């Protein structure tokens, strides 16, 4: 029996998310006493480098699915490649990073091979020789312990739920290269890719995030958050309510259905704390809530709270941080 | 264009954690001191709005709301009628227990076939209870049609539809042939409308078509859940929040800045 982990890479380097998926896959394989191999898509030196990186990060070996699926975001092509890898390895479990692409893949691949789909997985336990998968449900209010009813499982690993595995260059393993299957045309054609990288805050990797919600009263309120975020070396995020109101693009959204984040410091300004928002910040180390309503649910999650009007507090806070910065540099 | 929108009722996701409990089966939620409150699933509401807008833009189109659920789900279908859906279908059979998204996708695919097919199937990007995010892509596999996820806008074009979608923070515009499955995310352009009083009144009298397993030629294997929740456990509640106080905003700001600096966070 073999477990597989689909590991995305950028020009041969595994992404932190890919390493996190490998970490969970390694721990599961150890508990089940099975081999675990990384699955890499692409060709040439970059795919070979990613295959070696997967081994360094915990895989017993790698499978490179080559030809025409390099760094590909076409769900149809990637799903076909993963099905090929599963069949090649006679795998019983495939781990997939559950980001936007992962959300397309899990249902598709599971359907094609008759596997079960278990998503948003954060951990597991082995009970009576079987894996019981753990995943948050009901906006993070409960943890579900799930068992597959089928011999094969596609596991969607919840973003930011796993520590990032360190690479060990001494590890060795075999690399198989297989050809991507011919996949049917997806019926979908990309016309335009907008939202350049500088417009899109890199929420997932940010150390500091300053997020705004409906309490800001309008799009103008985000200007002071940008100033504060720049001062703190962070990026600006938003609640779903602020995005739905059109104050900032949806790419700013932090929450269960926006970016799931795990910064060192998360400052929530004028965010009431809807469950789906809180579910996206469970990994934040320090949450500071600034809200004029002392009863706002955000204070149930925050570590530090300030009951204040955002429009008055945020500029004052930015000025205090600036004073500390200039004091420190003197 | 025949548009089918998959809708769903969910346990109110905003119920606070302090009233959230687990029932005696150990596998389902219970709410302390009150009956569980069910509400229409949020992303499915956005899908419904998008579907109705599209129906209004394309002459001769129909919008059908579809739900897999027992009679308590009639509420969400009545709401679809109140928002001017043309018809409503509910698939239910007492033999369906603990369906997961894969099993539900098979039942929905067969229900769509039973009502004469669809050119465009819309559903929410993920439900706000179990949050599997599997239904749309699995349904596309069942129907053997393209799938576009996290759509904010859909417009008709000569070859099918043009869809604006959120792809992990980047905005992509894609063209898809029809039939297709599109999962919908929230956007300012698809905020659920308010029902007109007249439509809300009318919605109570409109017929909901109910289909059961016998009417659907289901595959026994594919309509079985692929995963089973063995048990639920309550998530740990975070520590109490420490409030930063001060005589005025400046004092509060200084106290917070000092505190975060001491912690090495800023």
Q: What is the reported pLDDT for A70?
A: 47
Q: Does A132 contact chain B (CB < 8 Å)?
A: yes
% of chain A exceeding 90 in pLDDT: 76
* pLDDT of B105 strictly over 90: yes
Nearest CA in chain A to B170: A195
Of residues B131 and A236, the one with the higher pLDDT is A236
pLDDT tens string B69-91: 999 999 999 999 999 999 999 99
Task: State how far residue A140 is from chain B, nearest Cα, in angstroms.
Answer: 7
- Reply yes or no on whether the pLDDT at A38 is more than 60: yes
Q: What confidence category does residue A181 fall into, taking pLDDT thresholds of 50, 70 and 90?
A: confident
Q: pLDDT digit string (tens) for A257-283?
A: 889 999 999 999 999 999 889 989 988
Minimal CA separation from B202 to chain A, in Å: 29
Q: Assign A71 a pLDDT band (cuts: 50, 70, 90).
A: very low
Comparing CB atoms, the residue among A100, A118, A232 nearest residue B227 is A118
Q: Which residues of B touch A132 (CB under 8 A)?
A: 230
Strand partners, A66: A179
The minimum CA-CA distance between B203 and chain A, rounded to whole Å, is 27
Return the pLDDT at B171: 85
3-state helix, strand and coil shares in percent for chain B, rounded to the nearest 5 = 30, 30, 40
pLDDT of A154 above 60: yes
* Residue A197 pLDDT exceeds 50: no
Q: Which site among B168, B221, B250 would you substitute to test the A interface, given the most A Cβ atoms closer than 10 Å to its Cβ? A: B168
Q: pLDDT tens digits, residue range B228-237?
A: 999 999 987 6
pLDDT at B238: 62
Q: How far apart (Å, rounded) are the C-alpha atoms in residues B80 and B75?
A: 9
Is A316 in Cβ contact with B168 (below 8 Å)? no
CA B254, CA A248: separation in Å to the nearest integer? 29
Beta strands in A122-251 (DSSP E): 123-127, 130-137, 142-148, 153-157, 174-179, 188-194, 208-212, 235-238
A245–B138 C-beta distance less than 8 A: no
In the prediction, which pLDDT does B150 show? 94
B257 touches chain A (CB under 8 A): yes
Q: Do B170 and A195 touch (CB under 8 A)?
A: yes
Does A38 lie at the interface with B, CB-CB under 8 angstroms? no
Let me know: does A157 contact B236? Beta carbons within 8 Å. no
pLDDT tier, A220 (very low <50, low <70, confident <90, very high otherwise): very high
A303–B131 C-beta distance less than 8 A: no
Q: What is the pLDDT of residue B239?
A: 63
A317 and chain B in contact, CB less than 8 A:
yes
When pLDDT is averaged across residues B239-245 and rounded to a whole number, the result is: 87
Q: Give percent of chain B with pLDDT exceeding 70.
A: 99
Return the percentage of chain A with pLDDT > 70, whole number: 95
Asked if pLDDT for residue A198 goes beyond 50, the answer is no
Nearest to A316 by CA among B260, B256, B250, B245: B250
Per-residue b or e along A60-89, where b marks 16 or more CB atoms closer than 10 Å to that residue's CB:
bbbbbbbebbbeeebbbbbbbbbbbbbebb
pLDDT at A58: 96
Sort A292 into a burial class: Cβ within 10 Å, 0-12 / 13-18 / 19+: middle
């Amino acid at each position: 029996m073999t477990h597989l982990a689909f590991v995305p890479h950028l020009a041969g380097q595994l992404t932190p998310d890919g390493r996190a998926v490998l970490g969970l896959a390694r721990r599961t394989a150890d508990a089940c006493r099975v081999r675990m191999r990384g699955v890499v898509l692409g060709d040439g030196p970059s795919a070979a480098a990613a295959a070696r990186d997967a081994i360094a990060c915990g895989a017993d070996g790698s499978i490179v699915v080559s030809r025409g699926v390099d760094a590909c975001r076409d769900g149809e092509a990637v799903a076909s490649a993963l099905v090929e890898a599963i069949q090649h390895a006679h795998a019983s479990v495939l781990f997939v990073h559950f980001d936007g692409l992962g959300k397309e893949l899990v249902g598709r691949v599971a359907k094609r091979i008759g596997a079960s789909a278990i998503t948003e997985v954060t951990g597991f336990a082995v009970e009576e020789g079987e894996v019981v998968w753990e995943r948050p449900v009901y906006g993070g209010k409960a943890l579900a312990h799930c068992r597959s009813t089928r011999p094969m499982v596609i596991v969607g690993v919840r973003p930011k739920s796993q520590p990032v595995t360190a690479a060990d260059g001494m590890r060795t393993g075999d690399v198989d290269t297989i050809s991507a299957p011919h996949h049917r045309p997806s019926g979908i054609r990309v016309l335009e890719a907008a939202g350049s990288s500088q417009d899109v805050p890199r929420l997932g990797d940010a150390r500091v995030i300053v997020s705004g919600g409906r309490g800001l009263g309008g799009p103008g309120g985000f200007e002071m958050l940008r100033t504060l975020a720049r001062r703190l070396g962070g990026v600006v995020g938003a609640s779903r309510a602020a995005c739905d109101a059109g104050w900032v693009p949806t790419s700013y959204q932090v929450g269960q259905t926006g970016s799931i984040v795990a910064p060192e410091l998360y400052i929530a300004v004028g965010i009431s704390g809807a469950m789906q928002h809180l579910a996206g910040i469970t990994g934040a180390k320090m949450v500071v809530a600034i809200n004029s309503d002392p009863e706002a649910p955000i204070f149930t999650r925050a570590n530090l709270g300030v009951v204040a009007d955002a429009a008055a507090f945020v500029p004052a806070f930015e000025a205090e941080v600036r004073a500390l910065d200039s004091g420190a540099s003197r | 264009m025949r548009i089918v929108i998959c809708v769903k009722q969910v346990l109110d996701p905003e119920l606070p954690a302090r009233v959230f409990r687990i029932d005696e089966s150990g596998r389902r939620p219970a709410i302390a001191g009150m009956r569980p409150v069910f509400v229409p699933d949020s992303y499915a509401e956005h899908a419904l709005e998008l579907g109705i807008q599209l129906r209004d833009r394309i002459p001769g189109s129909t919008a059908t709301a579809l739900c897999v659920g027992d009679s308590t789900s009639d509420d969400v279908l009545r709401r679809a009628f109140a928002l001017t859906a043309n018809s409503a279908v509910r698939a239910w059979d007492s033999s369906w227990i603990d369906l997961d998204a894969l099993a539900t996708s098979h039942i929905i695919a067969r229900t769509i076939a039973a009502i004469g097919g669809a050119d465009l199937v819309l559903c929410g990007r993920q439900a706000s209870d179990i949050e599997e995010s599997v239904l749309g892509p699995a349904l596309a596999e069942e129907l053997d049609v393209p799938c576009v996820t996290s759509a904010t806008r859909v417009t008709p074009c000569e070859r099918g539809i043009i869809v604006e979608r959120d792809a992990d923070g980047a905005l992509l515009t894609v063209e898809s042939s029809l039939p297709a499955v599109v999962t919908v995310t929230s956007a300012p352009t698809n905020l659920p409308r308010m029902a007109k009083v007249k439509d809300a009144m009318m919605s109570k009298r409109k017929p909901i078509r109910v289909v059961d397993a016998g009417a659907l030629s289901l595959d026994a294997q594919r309509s079985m859940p692929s995963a089973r929740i063995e048990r639920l456990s309550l998530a740990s509640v975070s520590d109490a929040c420490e409030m930063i106080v001060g005589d005025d905003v400046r004092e509060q700001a200084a106290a917070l800045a000092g505190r975060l600096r001491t912690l090495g966070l800023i």
